[in-house]
Structure 1
Amino acid sequence: MGSGSSIRGSRIGAGPMGEVERGEAAPRIRVPFYCANKHEVVPSFADEAAVPEEWDCPRCGFPAGKDPQNPPEAPRTEPYKTHLAYVKERRSEEEGQRILDEALEKLRATRAEVEAHMEANGSE
């Protein structure tokens, strides 16, 4: 292990971390945003940057707006749909029955061909 006098996260020859090495920070403004769950988030923006109308709340993920009395509505989540539910949205009951009848007809024709082939070859 190293000695107890070293600073964690630094290396030999590293100088102080600050504005001297990084340059001066741009002037900043802090803008509060409010979500439907009454959370407040205050991100900072560069003074000349365009501030967005909405910001994602880091606590709940809902959209947050600038007006604390009228925050944006929470997004509506649709319930999970099964494959059958999606199929029923695309097809009527009659179309589904017609497609099923066609598939069964093809299956029966294939099965009849296989049985005829097996009888012709004398194997079952």
Structure 2
Amino acid sequence: MSSGSAIRGSRVGSSPMRPDERTEPAPRRQVTYYCAAGHDSIIWFAAEAANPDTWDCPRCGQPAGLDRANPPGKARTEPYKSHLAYVKERRSDEDAAAILAEALAKVRRRRGE
């Protein structure tokens, strides 16, 4: 009895053993990006594609730029803010007191107090 596997000996995502003679790869070009930590990253783009000004460094994750002498600075990570912190940015204490009073009045009317 056969195993029923038509692709025995290969794995998912594997490429052909040799390139097909009837096709040729698309034209590409390489662009080098430099990060503040001193890493050089060579990224391949299609020949007609525009390359971005910055790229995340694959080694350290910091932004990398096209100029070796002036790489972009380290990215600032914003601290985690809770929902309440965002609400406090939009509302003053007086607004919060007015909204609370309005909500309490609505609840008291519903209860019949």
Residues 35-55 of structure 1: per-residue CA shift (max 9 Å, x gap): 123221112345565444322
* Map of 2:5 onto structure 1: none
Q: Which amino acid aligns with 1:83?
A: H
For residues 101 and 46 of structure 1, the distance between their equivalents in structure 2, rounded to whole angstroms, comes to: 61
The alpha-carbon deviation at position 63 of structure 1 amounts to 2.1
Task: State TM-score, norm by structure 1.
Answer: 0.62
CA RMSD of aligned residues (A): 3.1
| 5+ residue gaps, structure 1 | 1-6, 114-124
- Give distance in 1, aligned partners of 2:63 and 2:42: 13
Count residues with an aligned counterpart: 104
* Pairing 1:71-90 to 2, within 5 Å after superposition: 71-90=71-90
State the SS of the aligned residue for 1:23: coil
> Sequence identity of aligned pairs in percent?
52
TM-score computed with the length of structure 2 as normaliser? 0.67
Structure 2: gaps of 5 or more residues: 1-7
Deviation at 1:107, TM superposition (A): 1.6
More strand by share: 2
**2:19 maps to which residue?**
18
Greater radius of gyration (CA): 1
Give the number of the structure whose residues are more often helix, by fraction: 1
